[in-house]
Amino acid sequence: MDVMVEKCAGIDVHKSKITVCVLIGEMTNAKPKRELKTFGTTTMELHACAQWLVKLGITTVLMESTGQYWRPIWNILEPYQFQMILANAQHIKQVPGRKTDIKDAQWIAELGRCGLVNGSYVPDRDIQDLRQLTRHRSSVKEDLTRRKNQVHDILQRSNFKLSSYLSDIFGKTGQTLLHMFINGEAITEKTLEDKVHKRVLATLPQLVEAMNGSLTKVNRQLLKLELETINRLETECQECEYYIEEHIEKYEDVYLRLLEIPGVSRTTAQVILAEIGPTVDAFETAEKLASWAGLCPGSYESAGIQYGSKTTRGNRYLKAALCRAGLIAGRSNNQDFRSVYYKFKERNQKSKGIVALAHKILRIVYALIDTGESYDPGKQKKTPATAIA
């Protein structure tokens, strides 16, 4: 294998320690000088590691993306002006030639010295902070949905059919009725008169019959705990929205242009900006961005016949946000997106149509960020919606 880097270091990352292997030698030297050293993961020891690498004249530092453990190491080493490469662990394992007696750090260093490691995309610190906020919001919303489903389960097993008459049992009227269950209050037409909003279509007799169930003491207690958790999570989600809006002000130009794309909501635009960043310099083409996002159409050929294959895993946060945008755009009045969506729907391939529209939206996003232009429906008619097989 041809040598591409004269002085590089491979880091095997663990929770409480890191193992660093340094390889130093001319490009014509097949057997470079090798040195192994172990450091702790405290801030002081990581700075000592960085200073040691600087003293040796190391130019390139490589490490695997091991959970969240790589992040503090990256944050401390990055200011020392090394060429930082975050390797995909799966990619490293697939490279042939590894011997069982070679340590992980040495193997990473050897691959890096020969230029066989493709670095993962790591945005700058500010975008990383925005990404953490949007991902935290996503996690809170998932937890909120799970908690609401728990409330529905409690009511169903207690034979309360409240959800049959209220579109949202967690609205103002629903919350009031749920607290009546918890407090064990009598459910009659008289007690409900001043508690039911005038916009509720169900009649009082219907609501009384729907709430004619059997709620045990334990279920009341569980219902109380779930509602308290739901209220806390909703407050946390609102605070997270505020922090995201505050953080995204510096990227207002890109953010507002993303909102012009059909199907892209505030939340989707925020996720796109957090995952991709305000520039697309890390991605040479829209196709490479689509591959990274997991929206690249698969291709499999055998005996001269091409078959479709599933999309890759990709960035699940970006992929989910774009698929939601694709569904909204497909159901909108925008004929460019609507025609694609219903073409797939007529074939009973609605999910494929959503992914195809997500791919189309991502290509538009790439063009808008790359050129700095605003969304122009006339230009985007030329952007194909790739069929995802």
Tens digits of residue pLDDT in 17-52:
999 999 998 877 778 899 999 999 999 999 999 999
Report yes or no on 336 lying in a domain.
Answer: yes
Nearest-10 crossing angle of helices 350-371, 335-346: 150
22 lies in the same domain as 85? yes
- Which of 21, 26, 74 lies closest to 52 in space, CA to CA? 21
Q: What's residue 387's pLDDT?
A: 45
* Cα(298)–Cα(288) distance, integer angstroms: 13
Q: Is the pLDDT of residue 166 over 90?
A: no
Predicted confidence band of residue 212 (pLDDT cuts 50, 70, 90):
confident
Q: Are both 239 and 258 inside the same structural domain?
A: no
Same-domain pairing of 370 and 295: yes
Q: What does the pLDDT read at residue 259?
A: 96
Do residue 107 and residue 165 come from a single domain? no
Q: For 101-105, 124-128, 316-320, which range has the lowest pLDDT when averaged over its residues?
A: 101-105
Per-residue model confidence (pLDDT) at position 389: 40
Domain region containing 258 = 251-380
In a domain, 389, yes or no: no
pLDDT of residue 29: 77
Most confident stretch, 50-59, 197-206, 344-353: 50-59
Query: Does residue 129 have a pLDDT over 60?
Result: yes
Answer with the one of 113, 138, 161 that is the final residue of a domain. Answer: 113
Of the candidates 355, 161, 332, the one whose C-alpha atom is nearest the C-alpha of residue 262 is: 332
Residue that finishes a domain, picked among 113, 148, 164: 113
Contact 296, 355 (CB under 8 A): no
Would residue 90 count as lying in a domain? yes
User: Which of 52-61, 166-175, 365-374 shows the lowest per-residue confidence on average (mean pLDDT)?
Assistant: 166-175
* 213 has a pLDDT exceeding 50: yes
Q: Binning pLDDT at 50, 70 and 90, where does residue 299 land? A: low
Is it the case that residue 249 has pLDDT exceeding 80?
yes
Is the pLDDT confidence value at 255 over 90? yes
Does pLDDT of 100 surpass 60? no
At 107 the pLDDT is 87
Averaged pLDDT for residues 65-84: 92
Query: Residue 119 has what pLDDT?
Result: 84
- Asked whether the predicted pLDDT for residue 314 surpasses 70, the reply is yes
pLDDT band at 182 (very low <50, low <70, confident <90, very high): confident
Q: Please count the CA atoms within 13 angstroms of the CA of 139 that sit on its side-chain side.
A: 7
Q: Say what the pTM is.
A: 0.84
pLDDT over 60 at 87, yes or no: yes
Share of the chain above pLDDT 70, in %: 92
What is the residue-averaged pLDDT of the chain? 88
Q: Final residue of a domain: which of 88, 113, 138?
A: 113
Residue ranges of E strands in the chain:
7-13, 17-24, 33-40, 60-64, 83-87, 300-302, 305-307
Top pLDDT among 162 and 268 is at: 268
* Residue 86 confidence (pLDDT): 93
Inside any domain, residue 2: no
Q: Which residues pair with 18 in a beta bridge?
A: 13, 39
* Residues 338 and 228 reside in one and the same domain: no
